[in-house]
Amino acid sequence: MTRAPANLLAVRSLLLEHLNRDPNRARDEDLEPNEVGIVGDANHRGGYHCGSNRVVTNDYSVVESSRDRNGLTLDAAALDVGLFRVSSDGRDHNLFTFSAWCVAQCVANAPDTRDIREIIYSPDGTVVRRWDRLGRRSTGDRSHLWHTHFSFFRDSIKANRDQRPLFRRYLSAIGLVKLEEENDMTPEEHNWLETVHRNLTVLDGRNPVGQIYTRMAMGEDHIDPKFVVGHPTLRTLGAQLTAMQTALKSLGNRDVADEQAIITGVLAGLTPQEIAAAIPPTVADQVVTELSRRLAA
C-alpha cells in the first residue's frame, strides 16, 4: 500500500498551519486540508504519487533518474497544493505567485530545492507549465490550472530528508513566519559541521583523550598547569628536526675536504720506489721532465 512519507506530511502540516487561516471553517481563500495531497487515490497508477506497489512499466517516476530507481519504496514522492489567497505585509499572495516563486528558486538551484524533480503549475490560471530538473517535459494537464504538483526525487524521500526549508522560506518571504536565522546550508553540510565539531571537541585538552594528546604533542596539560613533561614531545621533536635540517644545510654549503693535506699525508707514507711504481708510464716522463726543470732552476 502506497504510504505518505513523514517528510512530506511535515511539509503539508507547515503549509496548512500558515495558509489555512481559519481551520474551523472552509473558506475559498484558505488552503484546506483536502487541497494538499500526497498519495494518489485508489485508481491512480504510475507517477510520483504512487509507491512501488502502484508504479507501471517504464514509469517515468522511476526509470528516468538513478535517484528515483535507487529510492523507490512504498512511499509516494509528490505533493499537490491547491488554491489559496492570503494578504501579508500589504501584498496579496496566491497559488500562482507561490508556484512562480518556487520555480524561480529551482531555476536558481537554491540548496533547498535540489531534491525537487519537477513542478507542474500555472503562473496565471490560464496556461499550464512544467519545470523539470531533467529537462524532459515542459507542460502538464489542465488540472494544474487549479493545483500545483511537486515531485521529489525518491531517494530524498527514502532518506527522510527534511523538505520544509524551501516552503518555510516562502512563508518568510511573504511575511507569515519569521526565520530564527538565515541559513543556506543543506542538511548534509550541517551534519558535516557537527562531525567536525565533535572530533575537535575530542582533542580538547580538558577531556581525557585531549589531555593525552596535548601532553604527547605539546608537553602541556590544560588541567594541571604544574605538569612538567618528562619525555620528548611532538613539539620538541619537531624543533630538533628543524635544527638538524639547518645544520645539515650549513654543512652542505661548506667544503670540508682539504685535498692538499690529504695528498701530502698519502705521499708521506710511501717510499720513493712505491711512488714511482704508482705513476703510469705515460705520466712518468712528464714527471721526470718537470723535476729536471725544477732542479735546473
The residue that leads in pLDDT, 53 or 283, is: 53
Q: Which contiguous run of DSSP H or E holds residue 141? A: none
Rounded Cα distance, 151 and 155, in Å: 12
Task: For residues 146-175, give the mean pLDDT.
Answer: 97
With a cut of 80, say whether residue 275 has pLDDT above it: no
pLDDT of amino acid 76: 98
pLDDT of amino acid 237: 81
Least confident of 124-128, 153-157, 285-289: 285-289
Indicate the SS3 state at residue 151: strand
Banded pLDDT at 6 (limits 50, 70, 90):
very high
Phi, psi of 29 (to 5 degrees): -80, -10
pLDDT of amino acid 238: 82
pLDDT of amino acid 56: 97
pLDDT more than 90, % of the chain: 57
pLDDT of amino acid 129: 97
The residue that leads in pLDDT, 20 or 296, is: 20
What's the pLDDT tens digit per position in 67-106?
999 999 999 999 999 999 999 988 999 999 999 999 999 9
Rounded Cα distance, 4 and 196, in Å: 34
pLDDT of amino acid 297: 67
Structure-block grid coordinates of residue 284:
712518468
* Residue partners of 210: CB distance under 8 A and separation at least 6: 202, 203, 204, 222
| Antiparallel, parallel or unpaired: β 36-37 and 116-121 | unpaired
Is residue 102 classed exposed, middle or buried when 0-12, 13-18 and 19+ CB atoms within 10 A define those classes? buried
pLDDT of amino acid 257: 66
Asked whether the beta carbons of 144 and 120 are under 8 A apart, the reply is yes
What's the pLDDT tens digit per position in 214-271?
777 777 776 777 777 777 877 788 888 888 888 888 877 776 667 777 777 777 777 7
What's the pLDDT tens digit per position in 168-227?
999 999 999 987 655 566 777 878 888 877 776 666 666 676 667 677 777 777 677 777
Task: For residues 106-133, give the mean pLDDT.
Answer: 97
pTM: 0.62
Asked whether the beta carbons of 79 and 8 are under 8 A apart, the reply is yes
Banded pLDDT at 31 (limits 50, 70, 90):
very high
